[in-house]
Structure 1
Amino acid sequence: MRRPVLWGTVTTAVAMTVLGGATAHAEGRGDIRVTKAVTNNGKNVIIGTSKTVTFPIKLTIKDNSGVKSLRDIRAGNASSTAGAPVELVGTTCKKLSATTSECTATMRADPHDFPDYNSERNANDAAGDWCAYGNVQANDGDYWIFDWVAPFKLKRAATLTAAATGPSPLSGGRTVKVTGALTRADWEALEYRGYGGQSVRLQFRKTGASAYTTVKTVRTNSAGHVSATVTASGPGSWRWFYPGTSTTAQVASPGSTVTLAPATMHANVPRVMHAATAG
């Protein structure tokens, strides 16, 4: 039996602007405030189908009497009906000055808990915009109950493969066919499934170069498979790159290396191309 959503967006009476202009709802007493907040060091939180993920939420808290405690902190989806079982592991605080402390909350998400969390929603609906909310207290009794700080994206993990193959040696051409498959985590089924209708970029890095360059953009088919035929300008590595979405993580495939080998020394025998996949 699925568990109901345990938390949603905190509904409060007072609106104020904090953290670089982001609008938050809060209520409290006195001058205690969260002046800075960031989740997972500013990176997306990406969850697959098997591994438990932990991530920090760091808050800088200030009050003229000093900070007493971070009494409560949780993470929730921007939509109160599309939650996920992200749990608080624990908190630590360090004093930066007489008026300011930095508190870190460690959060944990186990994808095995996702399917049975909310009977009214598909577990994948939890992906998207998230934030932190909670309660901080000062030494003089001031307190602040806040929401919508440290916003972040909770995303479904993705995988992408690539394989570059050349023509028969007798053809003597330099045409390369690059195939691949894009999948993403299905939190409802706890498995990776093909992700169709997505634009992925075929990229090439010439041997000796430091970066990949996009050659063309192709859409995956309904099963998540992708294929393109290109003309190689020389030896190098081919890969697929998927930029991700607001709910699915960015991913790049491993490179698949193509080498151009000289043919046996006979007159009028062209150079031939061989393809090999690199890890």
Structure 2
Amino acid sequence: MRIRSTVAVATGVLALAALAVPAAQADQGAPSLDKPTATERFSGAEAPSARQSARAATALPTISKVTVNSGKDIVLGTTNAKTFTVSVTASHASGIYDAYVDLWHGTNVETDIDGLLMMNEEAATCTASSATTSTCKMTITVDPQVDLYANSLAGSWNVTAGVISNDGEIYWNDFHAKHRVQRYSKLTVNASPEPVVKGKTITVTGNLTRANWETHKYHGYTNQSVKLQFRKKGTDTYSTVKTVTSGSYGALKTTVTASVDGYWRWNFAGTSTTPAVKATGDYVDVQ
């Protein structure tokens, strides 16, 4: 029996055509992208009950949950690849046979896609919690030196989710959800002089940098609000003293008056493309 390529019409546009990278994107160094469609992904998955009978079509599978990287943002630096887990929980009267997830960057799956992260396995590992419901797990590996060739790829990515039931019914949505892929950030701090006389001036400096996926180096993140925080010796809580805007090369600098022993640090809240980061506190002895 040929498996039906019935596709659920959910919110958003569902693509059932092979993708071609626009010439303009290819000129900018985009890798060759070959995103599978529902038909291509499940064409060889002849589900067990589909072989047993040619019974009439039933309702499409439903997806109740898709989890990417345990719900956390995917953060990449300049060199190390990262492998994360994705899972799909779905239900169908006949049970769930297989599932698929990928992440893609762009606005139109047919004409505007410039980033693609696909699952490593040929098939998901599905564990049934009942006769109708299963959770299927798979992994995706992203290499910043291969998959993230441009800084413009940082931010929100589309999540494709698809499942096939035991009797061959397919749900597929290229806009099932959104997930963030971010540029790893670093933050340093130095408070001096150490030690310092009470009432004298302490100068606190530092640098806010983030991964550049085009040069594979860390560059300064300029014009960002960063909080200077202080924790008194013997306590556990930092409090904000002032807010400074990062300058050229992500440089941070300000002055404060020495009063008591304690730790100084910078705290960056993050943006949609760059995760939050806190510097390790620098201790200053006030005499």
State which of 137, 142, 145 in structure 1 corresponds to 2:172.
Answer: 145
Is 1:59 the counterpart of 2:83 in the alignment? no
Segments of 5+ residues of structure 1 without an aligned counterpart are: 11-27, 118-122, 261-271, 273-279
User: C-alpha displacement at 1:150, in angstroms?
Assistant: 4.4
Q: Normalising by the residue count of structure 1, what TM-score does the alignment of the two structures yield? A: 0.77
Task: Give distance in 2, aligned partners of 1:77 and 1:98.
Answer: 35
What is residue 21 of structure 1 aligned with on the other side?
none
Counterpart amino acid of 2:228?
L
Q: Distance in 2 between matches of 1:66 and 1:36?
A: 16
Q: Which residue number in structure 2 is paired with residue 126 of structure 1? A: 153
Residue 98 of structure 1 corresponds to 131
Q: Residue 113 of structure 1: SS of its match in structure 2?
A: coil
Pairs within 5 Å for 1:1-279: 2-7=30-35, 30-70=59-99, 72-80=100-108, 81=112, 83-90=114-121, 91-114=124-147, 123-166=150-193, 173-260=199-286, 272=287
Deviations 1:36-69 (A, max 9, x none): 1121111110000010011112111111211111
Give the drift of 1:184: 0.6
**Please, what TM-score do these two structures have when normalized by structure 2?**
0.75
Q: Contact 1:181–1:224 at 8 Å: present in 2 too? A: yes
Please give the alpha-carbon distance, in whole angstroms, between the structure 2 residues aligned to 1:204 and 1:8.
52
Distance in 2 between the 1:142 and 1:168 partners? 71
Aligned residues: 236
1:141 shift after superposition: 2.3
Residue 29 of structure 1 and its aligned partner are, at CA, apart by: 6.9
Shift of 1:172: 5.3
CA distance in 2 between counterparts of 1:9 and 1:222 reads 45
Report the Cα offset of residue 165 of structure 1.
0.5
Distance in 1 between residues matched to 2:167 and 2:218, nearest whole Å: 52
- Aligned to 1:196, the other structure's residue is in SS state coil
| Structure 1: distance between partners of 2:36 and 2:215 | 24
- Going by fraction, where is strand more abundant, 1 or 2? 1
Q: Is the 8 A contact 1:167 1:173 kept in 2?
A: no
Given that 1:166 and 1:174 are in contact with CA atoms closer than 8 Å, whether structure 2 keeps it comes out as no
- Structure-1 separation of matches of 2:158 and 2:137: 15
State, as a whole percentage, how many aligned pairs show the same letter: 37
Residues 50 and 111, structure 1, Cα contact 8 Å, conserved in 2: yes
Q: Give CA-to-partner distance per residue, 1:116-148, whole Å, 9 cap, x none.
A: x5xxxxx11111111321421111222111123
